[in-house]
Amino acid sequence: MKKILAALLLVFGVNMMASDIGLWKKSTLNQIIQKGVLRVGMEPGYMPFEMKDKKGNIIGFDVDMARKMAKDMGVKLQIVPTAWDGIIAGLLADKYDIIISGMTITQKRNLKINFANPYINIGQTMLVKESVAKGKKSWKDLDKPQYTIVTKLGVTGEIATRRMFKHAKIRTFDTEADAVQELLNGKADAFVYDKPYNAMFMAKRGGKGIVHWDKDLTFEPLGWAVRKGDPDFLNWLDNFLNQVKHDGTYDKMYNKWFKNISWLKRVQ
């Protein structure tokens, strides 16, 4: 009986090892190493995470993180600029290996893709026309038919705006730049979007009739997205994040893009 049990355990162990090896062979991480290239999908229009400088180069916090990732893998980095409304579909179609593009982790997205541990937490805040903001205390004071709220189409800012504002007019735009320009042109009363973008916008514009209501309206963890069924890649990403957060690399990048705004000269 003991011999039979031992034999069964041996066979089970061999099968498990074969299964693990097969999983690794199909892993995106293994394919990246074999090809020597890490393909990263991102939409270059979200300051300071990813944007184009005056020369057309894509720069930002996410770009530096992706570059460090590729370096630690020992491969080259290939940025694949992608429109936001098709960014998940592009990942599923294997147009790139990972999404690193300031993507909020949501349960709906998690049904289609997997996320590594959050690499930063942000929230939605509001840029409000200064004349409109006077005498008002919160977003609730703007939830009236005479006010127009703008945001970007298809992002968590739109989700939050539609959930919160039941009476105000809501308009969406393909890019955050177009939406906030509507506010600057006086055709909207407030703009809802991610806090880092709004803070950078205020630092760049210096106000000019706009105030920043910087109290977070939502809690939003951002994560790197990969295709499902790839535990090896997720394990590597989580360990990578843990490493850079404890060896000073993460803080150096964060200070460069979120606390020092000298990079604005490169994109103005």
| Per-residue confidence (pLDDT) for residue 4, from 0 to 100 | 56
Pairing of the two strands 37-42 and 98-99 = parallel
Print the domain residue range for 46. 2-121+222-267
Q: Based on the fold, state whether residues 14 and 112 are members of the same structural domain.
A: yes
Tell me the pLDDT band of 113, cut-offs 50, 70 and 90: very high
The structural domain count of the chain equals: 2
Q: Based on the fold, state whether residues 182 and 256 are members of the same structural domain.
A: no
Tell me the pLDDT band of 202, cut-offs 50, 70 and 90: confident
Q: Based on the fold, state whether residues 110 and 131 are members of the same structural domain.
A: no
Q: Which two tokens stand for residue 55?
A: 């020369």
Q: Based on the fold, state whether residues 75 and 128 are members of the same structural domain.
A: no
Q: Based on the fold, state whether residues 228 and 106 are members of the same structural domain.
A: yes
Q: Based on the fold, state whether residues 117 and 14 are members of the same structural domain.
A: yes
pTM given for the model = 0.71
Domain edge (last residue) among 179, 202, 218 = 218
| Per-residue confidence (pLDDT) for residue 259, from 0 to 100 | 77
Q: Based on the fold, state whether residues 101 and 199 are members of the same structural domain.
A: no
For the segment 143-153, what is each residue's pLDDT rounded down to a tens digit?
Answer: 999 999 999 99
Q: Which two tokens stand for residue 152?
A: 């970007």
Q: What is the CATH number of the domain that holds 148?
A: 3.40.190.10
Q: Based on the fold, state whether residues 111 and 130 are members of the same structural domain.
A: no
Q: Based on the fold, state whether residues 115 and 246 are members of the same structural domain.
A: yes
Among the listed residues 24, 156, 152, 43, the one whose alpha carbon sits nearest the alpha carbon of residue 89: 43
HEC string for the chain: CHHHHHHHHHHHHHHHHHHHHHHHHHCHHHHHHHHCEEEEEECCCECCCEEECCCCCEECHHHHHHHHHHHHHCCEEEEEECCHHHHHHHHHCCCCCEECCCCECCHHHHCCCEECCCCEEECEEEEEEHHHHCCCCCHHHHCCCCCEEEEECCCHHHHHHHHHCCCCEEEEECCHHHHHHHHHCCCCCEEEEEHHHHHHHHHHHCCCCEEEECCCCCCEEECCEECCCCHHHHHHHHHHHHHHHHCCHHHHHHHHHHHCCCCHHHHC
For the segment 212-253, what is each residue's pLDDT rounded down to a tens digit?
Answer: 998 899 988 999 999 999 999 999 999 999 999 999 999 999
Q: Based on the fold, state whether residues 134 and 196 are members of the same structural domain.
A: yes
Given a cut of 80, whether residue 17 has pLDDT beyond it is no
Q: Based on the fold, state whether residues 86 and 169 are members of the same structural domain.
A: no
Least-confidence region, from 39-43, 107-111, 224-228, 264-268: 264-268
The average confidence (pLDDT) of the chain is 90
Q: Based on the fold, state whether residues 252 and 205 are members of the same structural domain.
A: no
